[in-house]
Amino acid sequence: MKVYLLESGTHVLWAEEVAREKGILLEVIPAPPGFSDHCALAIRTPVGVAPALEACLKDEGIDFRLLP
């Protein structure tokens, strides 16, 4: 699984909506401890669909950070 941090809860909900429209599987989760400075939520997706999700987020202008 890959975990992504976004700027705000609004961005997380936006990403979830866009992914759903494109048929991309993701799950909204609590941000991992130590990473909830800006937003208490994160998104998680299977590794196999991560490239599609990242492309979708970039196309929509949704900034994200992939956790190591």
pTM: 0.89
* Confidence at residue 19, expressed as pLDDT on a 0 to 100 scale: 96
pLDDT at 60: 95
Q: What is residue 40's predicted lDDT score, i.e. its pLDDT?
A: 92
For 8-67, write each residue's pLDDT tens digit.
999 999 999 999 999 999 999 999 888 877 789 999 999 999 999 999 999 999 999 999
Note the pLDDT of residue 44: 97
Domains of the chain from N-terminus onward: 2-66 (3.30.70)
pLDDT of residue 37: 77
Closest CA to 10 of 48, 38, 34, 32: 38
Sign of the alpha-carbon torsion through 43, 49, 51, 57: negative
